């Protein structure tokens, strides 16, 4: 399918959302991703012209597909993406992926979301979907970032304020050090220990969280992970 860039928004330092309109009817489940291929690269990039991106918007927000990423100088792909002007067309494949929030989750199951940096993207979609659909699924997001510039913070703060089933804790690892079993144990408390644990971020974050969750005796079938490979 072809996607046309409709707008770009700066979400945090060096982090932007790109909103696309599809030439085909597209439906997705919160948590799914697409492949985006740029027609030409303005700068060399040994990884080529295609990347995966999770759709950070919820299907309840309309037809626009939002993807959110950190722009790094070292990535020819990201620099080219950042330079696309409104009206530019890219090629996309998807949506796909099984790391998804479906309607069968009930208000009696707690969900503990562990986001590492840009790993916040599927959780934005899931939380917004939960709110817009009135599902009342208890969701507790622990959002770890390497600085205090948390992507989507304004929205997350509003959603937490207006919905008693949504809770967010921001964890700035440059101030508090990396999350470890002791720190996480204090944050999750007994109330969330039987949750479904969803973990998203770069491989290094997933590996660290898996070790911690094992230490906390969380069973494997309570844990779902999505590795943002490529970092
Ligand atoms: C299922 C799935 C979903 C994904 N969803 C998303 C998403 O929603 N948003 C998203 O941004 N990515 C997502 N990714 C990852 C994405 O596809 C890219 O692989 C990733 O963003 C890296 O892109 P890049 O290689 O262009 O450049 P980058 O890694 O961004 O930058 C290029 C270079 O910068 C350097 N670099 C990287 N990280 C650092 C750092 N912390 N400090 C200093 N230097 C660094 C490295 O040399 C790297 O090669 C997803 C991946 C998968 C598999």
CA count, 13 A, side-chain hemisphere, 128? 21
Tell me whether residue 104 is in a domain. Answer: no
Is 105 inside any structural domain?
no
**Residues 138, 77 share a domain:** no
Residues with CB under 6 A from ligand 1: 33, 47, 51-54, 67-70, 72, 74-75, 77-78, 97, 118, 121, 226, 228-231
Are 143 and 214 found together in one domain?
Answer: yes
By alpha-carbon position, which residue is closest to atom 39 of ligand 1? 231
Clarify whether residues 88 and 117 are in a common domain. no
How many Å apart are CA 222 and CA 219, to the nearest integer? 6
Q: Which atom of ligand 1 is nearest to the CA of 55?
A: 8
Q: What is the CA radius of gyration of the chain?
A: 18
pLDDT digits (tens, 9 = 90+) for 81-138: 999 999 999 999 999 999 998 766 777 789 999 999 999 999 999 999 999 999 999 9
Domain coverage including residue 143 = 111-227
C-alpha–C-alpha distance, residues 200 and 113, integer Å:
8
Q: Which of 47, 52, 38 is nearest to 97 (CA)?
A: 52
- Ligand 1: residue whose CA is nearest its atom 32: 75
Residues 89 and 115 both lie in one domain: no
Q: What is the pTM of this model?
A: 0.95
Indicate whether 134 and 206 sit together in one domain: yes
In a domain, 211, yes or no: yes
The predicted pLDDT at position 103 comes to: 67
Give the lowest-confidence range in 19-23, 183-187, 188-192, 215-219.
Answer: 188-192
Segment among 52-61, 104-113, 198-207, 219-228 with least mean pLDDT: 104-113
CATH code for the domain in which residue 51 is found: 2.40.30.10
- Cα gap 136→106, rounded to integer Å: 8
Does the pLDDT of residue 190 top 80, yes or no? no
Q: Nearest C-alpha to atom 2 of ligand 1 is from which residue?
A: 228
* 17 and 79 co-located in one domain: yes
148 and 66 housed in the same domain: no
| % residues pLDDT > 70 (the chain) | 99
Mean pLDDT for the chain overall: 95
Edge-to-edge strand list for the sheet holding 111-116: 166-172, 139-145, 111-116, 196-201, 223-227
At residue 108, the pLDDT reads: 79
3-state secondary structure of 203: helix
Q: What is the pLDDT of residues 18-72, one digit of tens each?
A: 999 999 999 999 999 999 999 999 999 999 999 999 999 999 999 999 999 999 9
Q: Which candidate, 146, 157, 140, places its Cα nearest to that of 198?
A: 140
> Which residue among 69, 96, 123 closes a domain?
96
Give pLDDT, residue 229. 87
Same domain, 42 and 77: yes
């Amino acid at each position: 399918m072809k996607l046309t860039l409709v707008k770009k928004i700066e979400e945090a330092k060096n982090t932007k959302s790109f909103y696309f309109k599809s030439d085909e009817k597209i439906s997705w489940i919160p948590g799914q991703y697409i492949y985006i291929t740029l027609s030409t690269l303005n700068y060399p990039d040994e990884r080529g012209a295609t990347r995966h991106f999770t759709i950070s918007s919820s299907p309840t927000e309309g037809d626009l597909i939002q993807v959110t990423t950190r722009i790094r100088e070292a990535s020819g792909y990201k620099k080219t993406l950042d330079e696309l002007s409104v009206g530019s067309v890219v090629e996309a494949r998807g949506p796909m992926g099984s790391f998804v929030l479906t309607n069968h989750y009930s208000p009696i199951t707690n969900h503990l979301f562990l986001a590492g940096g840009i790993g916040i993207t599927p959780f934005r979609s899931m939380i917004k979907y939960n709110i817009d659909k009135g599902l009342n699924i208890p969701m507790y997001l622990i959002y770890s970032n390497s600085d205090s510039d948390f992507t989507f913070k304004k929205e997350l703060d509003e959603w937490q304020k207006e919905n008693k089933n949504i809770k967010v804790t921001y964890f700035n690892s440059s101030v508090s050090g990396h999350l470890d079993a002791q720190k996480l144990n204090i944050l999750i408390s007994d109330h969330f220990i039987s949750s479904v644990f969803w973990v998203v971020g770069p491989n290094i974050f997933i590996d660290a969280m898996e070790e911690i969750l094992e230490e906390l005796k969380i069973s494997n079938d309570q844990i779902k992970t999505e590795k943002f490979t490529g970092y």
